[in-house]
Structure 1
Amino acid sequence: MTEIRNIVILTGAGISAESGIDTFRDAGGLWEQHRVEDVATPEGFARDPDLVLGFYDMRRAALAKVQPNAAHRALARLETEFSGDLLIVTQNVDDLHERGGAKRVLHMHGELKSALCLSCEMRGPWDAPMLDRPPCPVCQARSLRPDVVWFGEMPYQMDRIYRALREADLFVSIGTSGAVYPAAGFVRDARELGARTLELNLERSEGSHWFHESRQGPAGELVPEWVDEVLGG
């Protein structure tokens, strides 16, 4: 793989599931016993903000109980040792990539440990509960919400992602269902732009046929093996 100079890696819930973080698609549309429509949409937040704020407070606090796994650490090693350009685009809102050592991470769906003020549009680090309506550190309005992208909202930094896809020699999808757009369309975009495409997933995704190669198994096993191939090739 010595010809590979630019890698874009998309990660999804499957890479964090091995660390103990639940994925809503594993339980028939339930996400930690809540309907996705109730806790991950603007309409759900408007209808019952206490439910949504409490749900994300719980998820934020739960991050302290989980640790990065071998897949996170392997991608951090790749980032450090790979001589070309690399960007990790994650659909996950956890901080396990960063805690695993990666720095070039783009959170297209936002971050649990970030707050968004609906009054002044401040975005910034946040590690405390929101249910008690704390004031915004900038404008003091008590109108904070989790800085995460809910269903029906536009993912972050799409222009940067598409620039990276245009320059990529290799696109790798890890632990994704292939069902949530626009991320599910990245493989087709990358392939049509001339990149090689590789899927590392527990099972074939809905868009598996778009990949040049698909490998099935736990991310904690597949990702370190693949990183060894890239760095040793």
Structure 2
Amino acid sequence: MVTKRRSNTPSWLLRNWTALWRLAAAALLGSAFLGGAAGAAEIWRTDNLQRVGGEPVKVVGAPVVAGDGGTTVLVFDGVDDGIFLDRIPIAGASAFTVEMLFLPAADGKPEQRFFHMQDEQGRRGLLELRSDERGWWLDAYLRHSLDAADRGLVLIDPKQPHPLGRWYWVAMRYDGKRLTSFVDGVKQLEGAYVFGPIGQGKVSLGVRQTLVSWFKGSIREVRFHREAIPDSALQRAR
């Protein structure tokens, strides 16, 4: 004979157990994907040439949509390829973090710009690279105004080269007082600077907005955070 054991668990808890479990699971998944305590990022996946981040894409040259390791990326030729988008997701934020997953080609030029945001007043931020036979190193740049007296802040250190031809997450983080640059979650440099908040404007990928310093390589994803996220929440490629 099979008998049913009477449960001592309150009926209201049994009825709501599934809902409670789902809420807990969602919270854990959210923490895993959004970096724990850091807030949600706006994620731009560069897997097409029509819309990125919900925005229409303006194409310069002929960047190529290609597969790489089971994902889709944009490939830039280093000559005349780039894309422009008419929105800056961190506009109005007094602190921010911008992260990008990219691969610099082994045969690119020694000076390249691959991320450029600039508002209508001239405030801008760029992620750039320099390279030589040792590899490449990051150049993160902020400038608050077009005033000649404001030379901006440059974070660049040729003593920290990285091998070309690999995927990296790079980041620039501004906490309202200091700019810090990262490669795969490892701090490169930091410096004090008064900046922003940046207003609405344009973002270009693969080139500076003046159509110079073209990037050769691939870009897979850009993340915009309206806060200075902790080091532990930064993305890493390895």
The structure with higher relative contact order (CA 8 Å, sep 6+) is 2
Larger % of strand: which? Answer: 2
Larger Rg: 2
Name the TM-score, length of structure 2 as normaliser: 0.25
Length-normalised TM-score, structure 1: 0.25
Higher helix residue share: 1
